[in-house]
Chain A
Amino acid sequence: MNFSCSSTLAAIEEEYLSHLQFWREKLTEEIGAMIADEYEVFWAERKRRIETALLFLDSKPYSFYFMTSSLYPDFSSREHYPFLALGSYHILDTNLGPKIKTFSRVSAVDKGNFFAAIKEGLDHEIDILSNHGGLIWLLPLTESFGLEETTLREKSNEFFLSFFPGIEDTKEFFSKMKTMADVYRAVDPQKAPFISFAATGDPAESLEAKWTNYKSTIEGGLPPRLSEPVFFYSILAQAARAALNAVLVAYIPIK
């Protein structure tokens, strides 16, 4: 992990926490729109710094980051929140933005409920940063979507394959990985802890244990026509694509 990348993001997260606390303290229905405005300005002011820091993700050897499902992303409900793991750091989407921005458009009738939801959102993010600050970063990953599909597929495959040293492309992965035992053998043991599939998963668990637990939570079992390694790939590569789409489009200029 690059030092300047992490220290930049860590500094931004500290600033974000203090702003969250300020907004939470001041929040009333009357000034909700102002908080929404400040939220937008806050991230806009830092966009260039974040952009620069995240650019490091694109350059090897730092680019082993991966979509995981630990903590908040909820695979069982099929809701794929963008979520990145960078070495031992995790980036979560602050989905407060889309909600907070609609504050002025909410009708008077719904205002009460909406106001409560914003408060809850602020509490939630304050809680994350207060308790996991330094390990989890909150960034507005879902600000915009729409990265060109081919690039997205190539990049997500590249990141997926970075977990499997010696495997050049997905074709080779599918031809060599006949069973999950092949996958467990081929995965880079240093990177395997960064893959997890459950909200309460233990990073120290083996990939085999994590996958077995995850399988047991799937209603109706695995899809019948897919081999397990292919399903494993589809879950993780898809998730990586969702996350990359958000991160790359929001912050990284497309080359």
Chain B
Amino acid sequence: MDQPKNKPLLHRTSLKAHFRCRGVYVTPFNRLPNLYPVHWFQDWAPEYLWMGLIIRHLGRNEGMANCWVCLKKIREINGGVVRPEWSWILGLPEEIQKVFLAMVVHLCGVDSLSPLTCLYTLSKAPLFAQVFQTDHPLKNRIATIEETLKEMSDHQSPLSTDIRYIIVFCRCSGRQYSFEEGSPTFVALANYPKTDHQDPIMPFYATTIRSMETAMRTDKPINRAFVQTFWDDLYGLEDCHIATMKFKKENEGATEFIAKIEQGLDYYRELLTSKGPLNAKDQVLFGLATFGFKRCKEVVEHDLYNTVSGRSDIRGLIEVYLTMVDLLKKEDKHPSIYEDFQLYGLGQFKVVVAAARESKEDLDSSHVFYPFLEGIVNEYRDEEFLNVDFRYFENERIRDKFNDCGKIDLYSLKYNYDSSYEHALWGAVRESSLLECTDAGHQYHQVPDIGDVENLKSVWPDCREMMSSIMDVLASCYGAPVEAAVDQK
């Protein structure tokens, strides 16, 4: 049995397993009540960065133990109440803060948290700044924060899980939660700090810890103001580092291919026009093929292989191919389908012409040549006899057409993607026009690609395939042209 070739690394719910409701495919998770995505990195990393710094500074075992000792100290002197969030600690009464900070210095050293002095300066956190002030260069302090945040940006990384263990332990030790001795949760809590991250049992413990921490987070409101200030301040301190992708230009044999197709189309033209004026079917099929050829040729002549416009061309070619196949499939049952197809298209132009007549704008500079359009609209019959159909042609949805023609894969894998480009949907905008900053401190934000430094994967292999398919359709109707050939892939 054929196995899918592009299996994802993580388990992903298939579209079939989604719940369909009025045109929306709802994921199983989104159907569960009170369940919503939470952002460990964006919303919580600023609160727990201090623990990340200590663990990185002292190493896993000593770092985790000392973080807990410091928190325990707060609990002792704060009436049994402790929370590991930095904003909460900085909001404690001065005398408690002083004891906590002194404890951190005693157990972990000044250098453990000194990187934070570039964010919590004298004016923002006077007590902290006074204790952790060092003469380490600013750029080194920022770099340490960046490296730590990078490790914390994955909520499943060893560092993130270690931090999440301390959070869970802090909650559990406060007797807010209790677990039956010997239960899997109890075992995970007891063994996690003693187990190495490479140990085969660790994935089980780590998953348990992370799930518990996520569950415990639901009753803790995010300190939005604190988190926002953290990211704003850090954003200013770092320069962006932009990651870019550059695909190679794949256009092997493009010029030769275009010449070959042109020769083939030329052959058909001579063959068909020599016997008399073209009938509606010939006109439509040839017109469509020529339209597709023009788009294909534009890709080659204007070097559109790796561009946004190239995707629009592919979509056009797919549409041409599908229309040709669809018309041929229906011609027996619907003898006037070619004429109707022409009138349907002219009806769409009639709408534009009518709008232009009523418009008060100066239309001279428009890319639409309205007087010529009017001539075309009235070419086959006077427009007074031309209906306008605002539905899809034959009142059939595009997806259904692909399905009927046995080309649903073409729709799912390519047409749908290219349509995003045609309609400026966000997926296409993100892929083509935004670059990613690789700085964790900038939350991996996106930057507009004004300089056009990134390109897209070449459309040429698909372009060639679609144009060849269009030529195949012509060949199936009129026979393969002599000499000129449809590309033999």
Contacts and interface: CB of A to CB of B under 8 A. Distances in A.
B133 A34 contact: yes
Interface stretch (A46-54, A72-80, A134-142): A46-54
A91 to B, nearest CB: 20
Given A19-B123, A38-B121, A38-B123, A33 B133 contact: yes
A41 B135 contact: no
A35 B123 CA distance: 9
B92 interface: no
B138 A49 contact: no
A161 B121 CA distance: 45
B208 interface: no
B412 interface: no
Interface in B203-255: 233, 235-237, 239
A58 interface: no
Given A31-B130, A34-B129, A45 B123 contact: no
Nearest to A45: B236
B239 A41 contact: no
B122 A31 contact: yes
Contacts of A33: 133, 135
Interface residues of A, number: 20
A17 B159 CA distance: 41
A31 B117 CA distance: 14
A49 B236 CA distance: 8
A26 B121 CA distance: 13
B131 to A, nearest CB: 10
Contacts of A158: none
Contacts of B129: 34, 37-38
Given A46-B236, A47-B236, A104-B135, A41 B118 contact: yes
Interface in B128-176: 129-130, 133, 135, 138
B236 to A, nearest CB: 4
B236 A48 contact: yes
B119 to A, nearest CB: 8
Given A34-B133, A37-B117, A45 B233 contact: yes
A145 B102 CA distance: 41
B contact face: mostly helix, strand, loop, or mixed: helix
Nearest to B123: A22
A22 B129 CA distance: 15
Nearest to A47: B236
A74 to B, nearest CB: 31
Contacts of A44: 118, 138, 236-237
A41 B237 contact: yes
A216 B138 CA distance: 48
A188 interface: no
A14 interface: no
A26 B126 CA distance: 10
B123 A48 contact: no
Contacts of A228: none
A37 to B, nearest CB: 6
A106 B121 CA distance: 22
A143 interface: no
A46 B133 CA distance: 21
Given A22-B123, A34-B122, A49-B236, A41 B130 contact: no
Nearest to B117: A37
B138 A26 contact: no
Interface residues of B, number: 15
B79 to A, nearest CB: 32
Interface string A6-45: 0000000000000100110010000101110110111011
Nearest to B136: A37
Contacts of A40: 138
A26 B130 CA distance: 12
Contact of A38 (B122, B135, B239): B122
B120 to A, nearest CB: 10
Contacts of B237: 41, 44-45
Given A19-B123, A22-B123, A37 B133 contact: yes
A40 B123 CA distance: 13
B236 A34 contact: no
B453 to A, nearest CB: 15
Interface string B333-362: 000000000000000000000000000000
A44 B236 CA distance: 7
A35 B138 contact: no
A229 B401 CA distance: 80
Contacts of B122: 23, 26, 31, 34-35, 37-38
Contacts of B235: 48
B225 to A, nearest CB: 17
Nearest to B121: A38
B138 A41 contact: yes
B122 to A, nearest CB: 5
B145 to A, nearest CB: 12
B137 to A, nearest CB: 9
Contacts of A47: 236
A38 B118 CA distance: 8
A46 B236 CA distance: 6
Q: Which of B117, B121, B138 has the most CB of A within 10 A?
A: B121
B234 to A, nearest CB: 9
Nearest to B239: A48
A48 B447 CA distance: 14
Contacts of B130: 31, 34
A64 to B, nearest CB: 26
Contacts of B118: 37, 41, 44
B236 A37 contact: no
23 contacts: A19-B123, A22-B123, A23-B122, A31-B130, A34-B121, A34-B129, A34-B133, A37-B117, A37-B121, A37-B122, A37-B133, A38-B122, A40-B138, A41-B118, A41-B121, A41-B237, A44-B138, A44-B237, A45-B233, A47-B236, A48-B236, A48-B239, A104-B135
Given A37-B133, A44-B118, 11 more contacts: A23-B122, A26-B122, A31-B130, A33-B133, A34-B121, A34-B130, A37-B117, A38-B122, A38-B123, A44-B236, A44-B237
